Each structure stands twice: as structure tokens, then as C-alpha cells.
């Protein structure tokens, strides 16, 4: 089954008084001092006093996963079986949130898959 998950973060804050009794007094909104780095969109810059004081990675994410198994079992003789197994997985993680289901499914199936094929043969020898 496919698994699609996206997350987008906003309203960044920093802890200003971790022991404050009121929850809202424990942090301060960064507000307009946070800007997304326009070069790569992978980092945010925090401007304090007209200069970039520090930066942090963009926490947005998009996760695409698909895992599938196909098993065929044939008992060609009592106690003797043949198994043919095909397993496929596809996985992609990017740091850009995208909430389009159609695009995410299309992107998921454009990811190069990992395939595993297995054949198991067992034969029961009859001891008279």
C-alpha cells in the first residue's frame, strides 16, 4: 500500500522562559525576523539587529513510500511446494511540503524501485 505524508511548519518560536507558569509566556514568536533562504529554500535565516544571527534547516517534509509483496504458492505434489515471491519497495523523502495527492502518487511511482525475486522449491522424499 502507498504511504504519503506531508508536513509544513510556520509561526516559528524560541524558548524565552522555560519555567514560566503560563504556556504562552514560555516562548517568543520569531515573526518577521525569520526569512526563507531564497537560494535553496532548505534553510531559514533569523535576522537579529540587521544581521543574520543564525539559521536552521527547513523542517517541512514530504514522505512517499510503497511496499508490495506478491506470493504464488503451488503444491505440485502432497508435501512438495514451489514458492515464487516478488517484493517491491519505493521510497522518497524531500524537505518540501507538497499536499497534492495526485502529484505525490505520480512522484512515488517515478522513484526507481527496489525489486527482490525469490524462488523456493521443496520436494518431499517418500520413505517407504
Average pLDDT over residues 5-19: 90
Q: Where are the domains of the chain?
A: 2-57, 64-122
Rounded distance, CA 13 to CA 30, Å? 5
pLDDT in tens, 61-80: 999 999 999 999 999 999 99
**pLDDT tier for residue 128 given thresholds of 50, 70 and 90:** low
Q: Model-level pTM greater than 0.85?
A: no
**pLDDT tier for residue 44 given thresholds of 50, 70 and 90:** confident
Please give the grid coordinates belonging to residue 71. Answer: 506470493
Amino acid at each position: 500500500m502507498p504511504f504519503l505524508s506531508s508536513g509544513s511548519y510556520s509561526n516559528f518560536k524560541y524558548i524565552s522562559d522555560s519555567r514560566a507558569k503560563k504556556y504562552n509566556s514560555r516562548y517568543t514568536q520569531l515573526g518577521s525576523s525569520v526569512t526563507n533562504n531564497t537560494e535553496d529554500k532548505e534553510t531559514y535565516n533569523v535576522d537579529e539587529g540587521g544581521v543574520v544571527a543564525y539559521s536552521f534547516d527547513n523542517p517541512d517534509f514530504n514522505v512517499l513510500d510503497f511496499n508490495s509483496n506478491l506470493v504464488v504458492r503451488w503444491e505440485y505434489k502432497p508435501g512438495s511446494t514451489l514458492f515464487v515471491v516478488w517484493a517491491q519497495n519505493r521510497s522518497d523523502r524531500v524537505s518540501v511540503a507538497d499536499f497534492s495527492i495526485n502529484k505525490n502518487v505520480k512522484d512515488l511511482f517515478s522513484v526507481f524501485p527496489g525489486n527482490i525475486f525469490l524462488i523456493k522449491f521443496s520436494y518431499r522424499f517418500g520413505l517407504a
